[in-house]
Chains A and B, each alone.
Chain A
Amino acid sequence: MTPPQRRRRFPKAGQEPEPPTPQEGKAQDPPEGPKKNPERLYVITGPDGAERSELDLVTLIVAHADPPPSATPEQAALLRLCTAPLSVAELSAYLSLPFSVVTVLLTELLTAELVTARAPVIRQALADRSLLEAVMHGLQRL
């Protein structure tokens, strides 16, 4: 039996679309089409507020304060969940809230300095061999 045939593609140089400007109310806005790039939510991090970083599914969030009386129930729930480090994806799962909603909540908590975000390790041009080796060693122990 002959399997169906595919034809390979090649990376589109310079085709990566620019992230659009963050907007309010993104969770409610319908996407304009299936090909549209995701709107990315930027948050202010660091003491100087100069750097912007993106909340990734695997950004680890750690609370470093108890929920203040002013916290909304959702914020309080988030803060209680991440007394130990927890990824944004896990927070979304445990709270049964969409990822986009959790990132909005977290942005508020980050701005209020009630939580910190530990940035994910990113693939740096495939070059970080020691990282890959660490992951391999970890998998071998499974």
Chain B
Amino acid sequence: MDFKGSDTIPGPRTEDHLPPTAEAAVKIVIVGGFGVGKTTMVGSVSEIKPLTTEETMTQAGIGVDDNYGSETKTATTVAMDFGRISITEQLVLYLFGTPGQERFWFLWNGLFEGALGAVVLVDTRRLEVSFDVMDRLEERGVPFVVAVNTFPDGPRHAIEDLRGALDLSADIPIVECDARRRASSRDVLMTLMRFLHSLAVEKAPV
């Protein structure tokens, strides 16, 4: 690393600074297969230009995404894009877009631990890519909703057909979205929040 001095250190633009009152942060994880639109969704709702945090994997072979062939590698950099939404002067929401393969999750310390919940972003052209993701979330007990990112050339399934195919119980919301649109992505997040709220009410009805 080459740090020549404070002038050369990139940092947040002045308008991207959090207020000094910011004291707590929550996170939502957007998870899905390669190219499904995770970063697009993060970018469409984030108040900052999406940032990328990287982690390096040093074992041969295991970090290679299926889309990239499987040549032997000794070090693989796995990137995760994220964005931010200020909720109040005190509270900040972070959105992380992470690859679906669980072998990448362990790179990030407790990515799902403490997360409010997850959005599983699916592409009907490659529905099966999301199966493993949902399996892992269910096993970990992470509440999630499913957002179908609609691509013009993707097959359209009725929501109930998708529910059957994904074997999701009736209470788990499945919504269609256009990840490029801020309002649509915001609605997906609202769907997740309402679902989480209903779970909280169910758990402690008052």
**Which residues in A have some Cβ–Cβ distance to B below 8 Å?**
1-12, 15-16, 27-31, 33-38, 40-41, 54-60, 62, 73-74, 76-77, 80-81, 84-87, 89-90, 92-100, 103, 118-123, 125-129, 131-140, 142
Contact = CB atoms under 8 A, between A and B. Distances in A.
A57 B108 contact: yes
B25 to A, nearest CB: 4
Secondary structure call for the B interface: mixed
A7 to B, nearest CB: 5
B180 interface: no
Contacts of A103: 109
Secondary structure call for the A interface: loop
A142 B1 contact: no
Interface string B192-206: 011011011101100
B94 interface: yes
24 contacts: A1-B155, A3-B127, A3-B162, A7-B167, A28-B58, A34-B102, A34-B106, A56-B110, A57-B27, A84-B20, A85-B19, A87-B25, A87-B84, A89-B96, A90-B84, A97-B1, A98-B54, A123-B115, A126-B200, A133-B197, A139-B85, A139-B189, A139-B193, A142-B182
